[in-house]
Chains A and B, each alone.
Chain A
């Protein structure tokens, strides 16, 4: 007889409980569906990628807390796998290769043109559908077929903004300034073409700056002297926008200032204060006037998780939603991107982020790319006013 019967019994009980606890989750836990992100989450443009990652993580956590997402006859937990490419195309390739090694078929990002172009061969070879926030048309037009544009392109929003400003604010002359990098320069060129097509007088279209410039007064001094009605900050990074606005206003510029990229109200408030009032930019795709209760809950969860919200996440929330809803429509696409491509053409699902119950998630892009390779998200144009964005107008693409 054991000298310590109670201890032996206790140990046996503990072992049984441990065995049960180890066995139980294996039966109960959902299989995991990995969705990737490759984009910029550090440096001056970090806000673009961070809003992607945080939107994906918030949404995935929300779904997982509700028991996961049902695709076909299985319920999955969503796991977001992230990679910071530091806005470097070489690192973007490494990131996409990492996604391929992990067996991931759906990747959000990259955030900029050269990164998105660089990952194309890897994505096509490894069978990955990726959702860049970059605008080169060749990524989305045939023979390319694996990239789906995640937002409204500058060549789609630019003409709409200039037309609005020409008709409503009497803009006649326009000057462009861009960072000396591929994205801003290509956005400047498409903006110049759009402005000329509308009959606007382009008074400056060559002025550039280094992306790491900290003081923009010397850059803007010659442009401000031209006194354009509108100053376009082509492809401006959120970190640089307040500095450019502040320098222009302090130099006495009284015209309008706009950009086709999304911005952050808090960053504008801190960096330029009241001088940023009237600044026009493309906004997140769910303004207070049009957003649903689900969008409001998403914003609340995001703010609770990360401390502050980024208006651009109103757009960035869509990519993961589209991926999962498309997989729900065709469960075979979960590991077969050819199925995904087939499903895109006829796909339609309710848009959970808009009040309008007839609004749907669907793919667009026929007009710009000749095939459906763009997420349909509302084009929202905002005006910054006293720390907040005010909606100027909402439109649809395609």
Chain B
């Protein structure tokens, strides 16, 4: 088990294109780090540089205090789960899992003990004599994990391990991976483009865009205090709504009426003429269902609902709005970069599932203005980010992790010392 440190890592391909550009990232011992971003952001390349399958153009890769830039993959003692599992089809499940041990010339009875142990953890016992071709997708995935956990590796690396599974299985395996990591307490780097995986699995999440780190923080901090427009738009599903706004004193004029800002945030945005307000879908509510006590904390507006989607436990309403040409173009660029295709400027609003708001009619909405963020439309920077509050969220998450890790490694030692 070891920490992984990256110092100014650059990966440049033959044509000079930097797939990874000046990335510095510290991953603590036992931490679960997620690398996330839209396709082509360099997250897989970064992972492959950690494991040694990709050369590092410049920068230092330090694993467990040792610089490993020039070490072959086999000398780095890391284990990796590939997107397509890469099981050896000519070997049984047992031999697949035993393969790393066989290569290190482990004695036979030791191999048997450790393979059986791994198979127990992953519930593969009755499949040990079968060939990968005869297994289901989920079972293959577990064999790939078995091969990773069977030896004492310094860290686990996962390259989109769940993307080939169907939705239901993906959910189950996600919990399984999380449980396994907590139990083994091993440093883990996990690449995904799925933000549900990123939010649920990671102690910290590293959001990448075009080879550059945008923000490294706990899932909660990413959600509550995103550093820029890109992170705000990437994290959260349905995504954050971005409305054009013009400031007027302590107020912002938006297509959905005026939003009152507190003194601190108003100061941060003063002196600009065009802004983007970021509002998460759940900050909205059907006005008729809002408590009297809560009402003054937000603002009310009327708008025509285009479409509603009722999902049983929640309900979404789509409200179209007009935006200046420049803003529309920029939002379209952003959504394209986030691998989605936003065709019209509309807000997605989460309302209570009991709400009777109907499609095609005007309705009154309430908007919680306490948590809105204001972005600079040109640079994308979050003007109202509260860095301290964000850091506090990540500090809490780190504390949680350390406690869990102590527990799984037998907290007795710590208690004894105290």
- Is chain B a partner of chain A in the same complex? no
> Which residues of B line the A interface, CB within 8 A?
none
> Which residues of A line the B interface, CB within 8 A?
none
